[in-house]
Chain A
Amino acid sequence: MGNYAIETVGLNFNFGNQAIVKDLSLQVPKGSIYGFLGPNGAGKTTTIKILLNLLKSPSDQVFIFDKEINSNRIAILKRIGALVEQPAIYGHLTGKENLVNRCILLGIKKTKADEMLSLVGLAEAANKKANKYSLGMKQRLGIAQALISDPELLLLDEPTNGLDPNGIIEVRNLMIDLATKHQKTILVSSHLLAEIERTATHVGIINKGQLLFQGTINELHLLSKPMLEIEVDNIENASTLLIKQGYEVTTKTEKVITVPFVSSRKSGELNTLLIQNGFTVSSLYQQRKDLENLFLDITNTN
Chain B
Amino acid sequence: MHALYISLISEYYKSRKTLAFWAAILLPLIICGLISAGFYNNADKIIANHYPPMLLWAQYSGAALGVMGFLIMPFYVIFMAFSVNNIEHKNDTWKMLFAQPLNKFSIYAAKYLYAIFLIFICLFLFATLTYAFGHLLQVLVPKFNFNQYSPLDILINAYTKLFLASLGILSLQFIISLLWSDFLKPMGIGFVGTIMGIIAANVGWKYAYLIPYSLPTLASRITKVKKGTDPLAFPVFTQEIWTSLIYASVLFIIGYFIVTKKSIK
Binding site for B on A (CB under 8 A): 49, 52-56, 74-75, 77-78, 80, 82, 84-86, 88-93, 97, 100-101, 104-107, 145
- Rounded to whole angstroms, the CA-CA distance of A52 and B96 in the bound complex is 10
Q: Are B92 and A101 in contact (CB under 8 A)?
A: no
Binding site for A on B (CB under 8 A): 2, 6-7, 9-10, 13-14, 17-18, 87, 90-93, 95-103, 263-265
- Rounded to whole angstroms, the CA-CA distance of A301 and B103 in the bound complex is 45
- Point out the residues of chain B lying under 8 angstroms from A84, CB to CB: 95-96, 99
Q: Are B102 and A56 in contact (CB under 8 A)?
A: no
- Rounded to whole angstroms, the CA-CA distance of A104 and B10 in the bound complex is 6
| Closest partner residue, chain B, to A149 (CB atom) | B101
Q: Are A55 and B263 in contact (CB under 8 A)?
A: yes
Knowing A52-B99, A74-B103 touch, does A91 contact B6 (C-beta < 8 A)? Answer: no
Chain A nearest CB from B103 CB (Å) reads: 6
DSSP class of A's interface residues: helix, strand, loop or mixed?
Answer: loop
Q: Are A105 and B6 in contact (CB under 8 A)?
A: yes
**Choice from A88, A93, A107 contacting B95 with Cβ under 8 Å:** A88
**Choice from B13, B103, B263 contacting A101 with Cβ under 8 Å:** B13
- Rounded to whole angstroms, the CA-CA distance of A92 and B86 in the bound complex is 13
- Rounded to whole angstroms, the CA-CA distance of A86 and B96 in the bound complex is 11
- Rounded to whole angstroms, the CA-CA distance of A62 and B97 in the bound complex is 21
Chain A nearest CB from B102 CB (Å) reads: 7
| Residue contacts A-B, CB under 8 angstroms, 7 given | A54-B95, A77-B101, A86-B92, A101-B14, A105-B10, A105-B100, A107-B2
Q: Are B95 and A145 in contact (CB under 8 A)?
A: no
**Choice from A74, A86, A90 contacting B102 with Cβ under 8 Å:** A74
Q: Are B100 and A77 in contact (CB under 8 A)?
A: yes
Q: Are B101 and A101 in contact (CB under 8 A)?
A: no
- Rounded to whole angstroms, the CA-CA distance of A85 and B6 in the bound complex is 26
Knowing A74-B103, A104-B9 touch, does A90 contact B95 (C-beta < 8 A)? Answer: no
- Point out the residues of chain B lying under 8 angstroms from A91, CB to CB: 90-91
Knowing A93-B17, A104-B6, A105-B10 touch, does A82 contact B99 (C-beta < 8 A)? Answer: yes
Q: Which of B7, B92, B99 has the most CB of A within 10 A?
A: B99
Q: Which of B18, B96, B102 has the most CB of A within 10 A?
A: B96
**Choice from A54, A89, A107 contacting B264 with Cβ under 8 Å:** A54
- Rounded to whole angstroms, the CA-CA distance of A93 and B96 in the bound complex is 15
- Rounded to whole angstroms, the CA-CA distance of A3 and B8 in the bound complex is 38
